[in-house]
Every structure is written in structure tokens, then in C-alpha cells.
Amino acid sequence: MAYPERKPIYDTYKKIISDIIDSKSYIEYANSEIDALDNELLRVFREIRKGYLSEKKWPSN
């Protein structure tokens, strides 16, 4: 794995989607819930990144 620090994130994601898949009777419901999760995670990760990037004192060019 190129970025071992990401492993906990991947492992947690796998657990969450496994729980979603196990709780659904139909693949469409599972896919829909996982799609919603993916969209929410992307939105939140982008907000976190934006916040951290704006806090750093970057050198001027």
C-alpha cells in the first residue's frame, strides 16, 4: 500500500459498507445507501481539507 496511514480509513469504510450490505435485502438499496455515504464523505473530506489548507502559513511566490 502506497500510503499506509490511509489503511484505518479504508478498513473503517469496508466495515461500514459491509454493515450496509448485510442490512439490505436488495442490491439497489445497498448501492443507493453506499452512494449517499460516498457523496457525504467526499463533501466532508473536502471541507476538512479546505479548512486545514487555509490554516497553514504558505510561502508567497
The predicted structure's pLDDT at residue 42: 98
Into how many domains does the chain fold?
A: 1
- The pLDDT of residue 23: 98
Residue-number span of the structural domain to which 38 is assigned: 4-55
Q: What does the buried/exposed string (b/e) look like for 28-40 if buried means 16 or more CB atoms within 10 Å of the residue's CB?
A: eebeebbeeeeee
Measure the CA–CA gap between 8 and 11, rounded to whole angstroms.
5
pLDDT tens digits for 2-59? 799 999 999 999 999 999 999 999 999 999 999 999 999 999 999 999 999 999 999 9
User: Would you say residue 29 lies in a domain?
Assistant: yes
Question: Of the candidates 43, 31, 34, which has an alpha carbon nearest to the alpha carbon of residue 16?
Answer: 34
pLDDT of 1 > 80? The answer is no
Assigned domain for 61 exists = no
Model's pTM, two decimal places? 0.82
- 60, part of any domain: no
